[in-house]
Amino acid sequence: MLSPASGKIIRIGEESRTITIFMYLHNVHITTAPLDGVVKKITPENGLFQPAFFRSADFNTRNTIELSTKYGDVTIVQIAGFFTRKIICEVEEGQGIMKGERIGKICLGSRVDISIPSGFEILVKEGAHVKCRKTIMASSK
């Protein structure tokens, strides 16, 4: 499973199996598919514009992309930050996508949360720097 964004891992939820990647202003802010799959559902939500590295950013404007994969459903959440006011989604519901394919962009940095299926071992640690399409975040057991 590839990283869907470039940045720093600021949180790994052990129970939720969710990894939070903070994207600094100098990072490339595209979002890509971590696995092959089909876009199951896209849910945009309006919210706050808190700095993305704070826990309060959990209530920021976001776009949730649910993927159906052969390993189970994976959720990628594009979260706007303090400077960000625009999230661009480049996929549609029902669309098939391949691992590493571009699915969107968050203008000027923010955060991406990704859920990890239960059949995967998480290979990254908090504080690690990851690269979109390059860093392997998890591997099937």
What are the phi and psi torsion angles at 115 (to 5°)? -90, 145
Q: For 48-103, what is each residue's pLDDT tens digit?
A: 989 888 888 899 999 999 999 999 999 999 999 887 778 999 999 999 999 999 99
CA distance linking residue 10 with residue 127, whole number of Å: 6
Mean pLDDT, the chain, rounded, equals: 93
| Residues 3-30 pLDDT 10s | 999 999 999 998 999 999 998 877 778 9
> Tell me, what's the pLDDT at 109?
65
Q: What is the architecture of the domain spanning 7-140?
A: Distorted Sandwich (2.70)
pLDDT average, residue stretch 104-118:
89
Q: State the DSSP string of 25-76.
A: TTS--EEE-SSSEEEEEEEEE--B---TTSGGGGGB-EEEEEEEETTEEEEE
Give which of 19, 38, 42 is closest to 101, Cα–Cα: 38
pLDDT of 108 strictly over 80: no
* Calpha distance 78→61 (Å, rounded): 9
Residues with catalytic function? 110
Domain boundaries, the chain: 7-140
Percent of the chain with pLDDT over 70: 99
pTM of the model: 0.88
Compute the distance between CA of residue 28 and CA of residue 47 in angstroms, rounded to an integer. Answer: 23
> pLDDT band at residue 47, thresholds of 50, 70 and 90?
very high
Any idea which residue has 């990894």 for tokens? 19
